[in-house]
Amino acid sequence: MAPSPRASRRVLLASAAAAALVAGCAADKESAMTGVETITYGDDPVQLGELTRPQGQSRGVVVVVHGGFWKAAYGLDLIRPLAEDLADRGWTTWNIEYRRVAAGGGFPATLDDVHAAIERLADLDVDTARVVTLGHSAGGHLAAWAAARGRFDRWPTTVQVTEVVSLAGVLDLVAAVGADLGDGAALALMGGPPGPDYDLADPARQLPLDVPLWCVHGRDDTLVPPSQSLDYVDRARTAGARAEAVLVDGDHFVVADTGSEAWRRTVGILEGL
């Protein structure tokens, strides 16, 4: 599937951002953006996150996870506007980077990084009583996975996820492989066809979640079809979980556009917590 012009522009932006991150993240430092701290959680140059604290009392932490089909061409700059908007609304935001496919990532390294980034919150001066994971596209997969990671010995968990918001998320890796989403992106992430490793990585195989999950998805999404959210929610509810699908007008990117009605719907979900 050929990327849209908008997606192509984002590839260029993400590539430039990745180069800047490698050059400037040898140690924790204050970001050029006011009120944002760039904090490392590991030794790899991309094992970092941007922590933004709101003015006044925090409503909780939102771990913001970017998408891009787990590919190295895409970085956390894609979802930075969402993190900034949420901080303006009173949330502490933790916009995380992670190793991606063809750049040291893939299964299990990408999951290891998301886990380590969330656990890093325990060492920071933030209240982790409420930790929401919010991710777009492949980030939606990682956001949902993070809520179940403590079930597995590989990822002992101190910081618990309390709610999940998936924005056009890839929530069924097996279905994504079957549909060849992102030109084989899920297959590349996992390093092979569906097998036992998928039990550790696939949200659709980890139902029911122990926390509420909302799936916000554009009706006209051709990159990640709405069935990824709708089928997951149906199965989650059947398994006894609290899950809700919120269909909105627009394509794959509208749910990550802070000026859209779709984003206002997501803000409403967070304000209702």
How far are the Cα atoms of 25, 76, 85, 129 from residue 20, in angstroms, in the given order?
Answer: 8, 12, 23, 33
Omega before 208 within 30 of 0, i.e. cis? yes
Distance in angstroms (rounded) separating the CA atoms of residues 236 and 242: 7
Q: Tokens 């009173």 map to which residue?
A: 90
- The SS3 call for residue 133 is strand
Q: Around Cβ 253, how many Cβ atoms within 10 Å?
A: 22
Distance in angstroms (rounded) separating the CA atoms of residues 95 and 33: 13
Q: Answer yes or no: is pLDDT of 145 > 80.
A: yes
9-42 core/surface letters (b: 16 or more CB in 10 A; e: else): ebeeebeebbeebeeebeeeeeeeeeebbbbbbe
**Residue 191, CA atoms < 13 Å, CB-side half-sphere:** 13
Least confident range of 25-29, 122-126, 162-166: 25-29
pLDDT digits (tens, 9 = 90+) for 63-102: 999 999 999 999 999 999 999 999 999 999 999 999 999 9
pLDDT digits (tens, 9 = 90+) for 3-38: 444 444 343 333 333 333 333 333 343 333 458 999
Mean pLDDT across 202-226? 98
